[in-house]
Amino acid sequence: MITRLLVAIVMAGSLLGVTVSTQQPPPQQQEEFIPIDQLPPQDQLPAAPLLITAYSFVVLALFAYVLSVARRLSVVQRELDRLQSDTTRGRT
């Protein structure tokens, strides 16, 4: 489980890294109100990479967890079946 979580975190981290590398440095303090479309283009932070990263992270995290539980469940189920068949074989 911890492995799966770590994988998910690493993937999220790389997604974040991609996002961060496309950002510009934060804008300086401004003295007065400037409407956003009058700001120079390099001061406007693109929202789409952040949004995409957020939604992808949600989907990936949920998916990774479901896979993790399913995998652990199948391991235990296999072990149970094996043990049950062993005991029935042992009885006959």
Partner 1 sequence: MPKWFVPVAVVCGLMFAAAPLLIANAPYESTMGLVQKIFYVHLPSALIFLISAIVCGVASVRFLFGGNPRHDRLAWAAAELVVLFGIITLVTGPLWARKAWGVWWQWDVRLTASLMGWMVGVAYLLLRKYGGPGSDKLAAGLALFGMANVPFIYISVNYWRTIHPTTNVLPTLPVSMGLPVWFTFATFFLLFLLLLRMRVRLEEQRARLDALYLSADA
Asked if 77 interacts with partner 1 (CB under 8 A), we say yes
Helix (H, G, I), strand (E, B) or coil at 23: coil
The 40-59 site mask, x for binding partner 1 (CB under 8 A), equals -----x-xx-xx-xxx-xx-
Q: Give the shortest CB-60-to-partner 1 separation in angstroms.
A: 10
C-alpha span between 20 and 12 (Å, rounded): 12
Q: How many residues bind partner 1 (CB under 8 A)?
A: 36
Backbone angles phi, psi at 41, to 5 degrees: -55, -35
Q: How many CB atoms lie within 10 A of CB 64?
A: 19
How many angstroms separate the Cα of 81 from the Cα of each of 25, 53, 92?
A: 58, 41, 17
Task: Among 18, 66, 67, 85, indicate the residue that binds partner 1 (CB under 8 A).
Answer: 66
> Which residues would be at the binding site for partner 1 (CB under 8 A)?
1-2, 5, 8-9, 12, 16, 19, 23, 26-27, 45, 47-48, 50-51, 53-55, 57-58, 61-62, 65-66, 69-70, 72-73, 76-77, 79-80, 83-84, 87
